[in-house]
Chains A and B, each alone.
Chain A
Amino acid sequence: MTPRQTLTTELERLNIEIKTMGKLAYDAVDQSLQALNRQDLDLADSVIERDQNLNQNEANVDEWAVNVIATQQPVATDLRQVLAFIKVAVDLERIGDLAVEVAKSVTHIEGQDLANEGEALEKMGQDALAMIVQALHSFRTLDVTEALELETMDNQLDQQYKQMIHTLMKHAGADQATAPQLLQLAYIARSIERIGDHCTNISEQVLFVEKGERYDLNS
């Protein structure tokens, strides 16, 4: 028998739940962005409705992690892995919430023309999706190099966000009538930027599990 078979099985179960959450969070962001591009209100509504699935997954991770600590007393890497599962679950749940924020803004914009900002937002969204993929992959494979790259990706996303706000402010100055729509676009940009921050949090957990040290990749 493999040593500590029960612990191994429980850790694998948590790993699979995180993978499921990753898929749900990715889909939520992806679909909220599609809803934005196509001004598809039905799709936006479905993103909002499905968020409770992620909430349930996060509750599962919490419950299973508590059980595995109570019954299996993991130590060293195993213990750090369990703590990382709990934290990553929180980040993925928050990414889901941010997708909901985007979707809500889409419903507020209600099919108005996105002016020239659609393309820049689309780029930000695609970059955020790439960050989710890389953060989750680095966490699954505990690839430190891949995890560290998230810092640069996040800096780039932050830059795009600043540029976007700058542009939106200029528009608002030129034509006050568009202000409500511009505000929603600013919210969306903010949500996408925050998704990037949660991705760096996930990568920080890779470093915690592998090296037992705390890093700040979002400075």
Chain B
Amino acid sequence: MTEAIFKTENLKIAYGKNQVIHGIDWDIIEGEVTALIGPSGCGKSTFLKTLNLLVRSMSDDVKLSGSITFSGKNILNDKIDAIDLRKQIGMVFQQPNPFPKSIFENVAYGPRIHGVKKKRELQEIVEQTLIEAYLWDEVKDRLEDSALGLSGGQQQRLCIARALATKPDVLLMDEPTSALDPISTLGIEELIRKLEGQYSVILVTHQMEQAARVSDTTAFLYMGELIETNKTSQLFSNPTEKQTEDYITGKFG
């Protein structure tokens, strides 16, 4: 039986009077890689940033209604502490954005602010997480070097490691390879495949081929509506909805 990591019910999101998401009911399956596709402005990025309430920090006049159930709680409820929530829901962005600190400090940062003090314990977390992000072999001899000296692909894997260091349940990825070259992109995609099962990964991507390559489930969002969610293999070979077919075959968008 598959369980939902997020369950949204009649989720609506508006910036002021501009309604961006028009009531989405969706169970996002735990332990899967879920890709969100759709044309620019369809609301996929906003939807993603709502799952960790980042949207509230980024905009003053955002209005959220409906519910998002995560770990048995409706996170749209005011009593939720966004900082705690983001310990469980990591996020990786379009541009690799390591802190201007050492490689070690980038990964140790999260665990440290969440209370891990002992150097020994931090070292262990850093090593384990860098191994998990397939970066360890490349950086193990220069952990004290600045993270800014790494290549784009390495920086993005470092950001993934930084997100994984607090042992989240979920990793949100907002177009994580759009600033990377093709080889680094394949490296990140490979990493996403390896995270499947241990984490629930929710990925927003402009590249349909990327969704097809890395995800288990794909959702097509159009003008704030969830048009179709389906097994990725099914969605790209024989989608249920005509609008999905038209979008993925390039008839619009």
Contacts and interface: CB of A to CB of B under 8 A. Distances in A.
Given A73-B209, A75-B212, A76-B245, A3 B251 contact: yes
Contacts of B237: 75-76, 79-80, 212
B209 A76 contact: no
A74 B249 contact: yes
A78 B245 CA distance: 10
Contacts of A79: 236-237
B14 interface: no
Residue among B212, B239, B250, B251 with most chain A CB within 10 A: B250
B249 A78 contact: yes
B81 to A, nearest CB: 42
Contacts of B244: 76
Given A80-B238, A212-B237, A212-B238, A75 B248 contact: yes
A4 B252 CA distance: 10
B234 to A, nearest CB: 9
B213 to A, nearest CB: 10
A82 to B, nearest CB: 12
A76 B250 contact: no
B208 interface: yes
A7 interface: yes
Nearest to B209: A73
Nearest to A213: B238
Residue among A73, A75, A78 with most chain B CB within 10 A: A75
B85 to A, nearest CB: 36
B250 A7 contact: yes
A78 B251 CA distance: 11
Contact of B252 (A3, A73, A80): A3
Given A75-B208, A75-B236, A212-B237, A3 B250 contact: yes
A52 interface: no
Contacts of A7: 250
A77 interface: yes
Contacts of B212: 75
Contacts of B250: 3-4, 7
Interface in A41-75: 73-75
Contacts of B239: 76
Nearest to A211: B238
Interface in B113-162: none
Interface in B216-253: 236-239, 244-245, 248-252
A74 B236 CA distance: 9
B248 A76 contact: yes
Given A212-B237, A212-B238, A77 B251 contact: no
B126 to A, nearest CB: 39
A73 B238 CA distance: 15
Contacts of A76: 236-239, 244-245, 248-249
Interface string A193-219: 000000000000000000010000000
Contacts of B251: 3-4
Nearest to B236: A75
B209 to A, nearest CB: 6
A146 B248 CA distance: 29
A73 to B, nearest CB: 6
A78 B208 CA distance: 15
Closest 3 CB pairs of A and B: A212-B238, A4-B250, A3-B250
Interface of B: 208-209, 212, 236-239, 244-245, 248-252
29 contacts: A3-B251, A3-B252, A4-B249, A4-B250, A4-B251, A7-B250, A73-B209, A74-B249, A75-B208, A75-B212, A75-B236, A75-B237, A75-B248, A75-B249, A76-B237, A76-B238, A76-B239, A76-B244, A76-B245, A76-B248, A76-B249, A77-B245, A77-B249, A78-B249, A79-B236, A79-B237, A80-B237, A212-B237, A212-B238
Interface of A: 3-4, 7, 73-80, 212
Given A4-B250, A76-B245, A76-B249, 18 more contacts: A3-B252, A4-B249, A7-B250, A74-B249, A75-B208, A75-B212, A75-B236, A75-B248, A75-B249, A76-B236, A76-B237, A76-B248, A77-B249, A78-B249, A79-B236, A79-B237, A80-B238, A212-B238
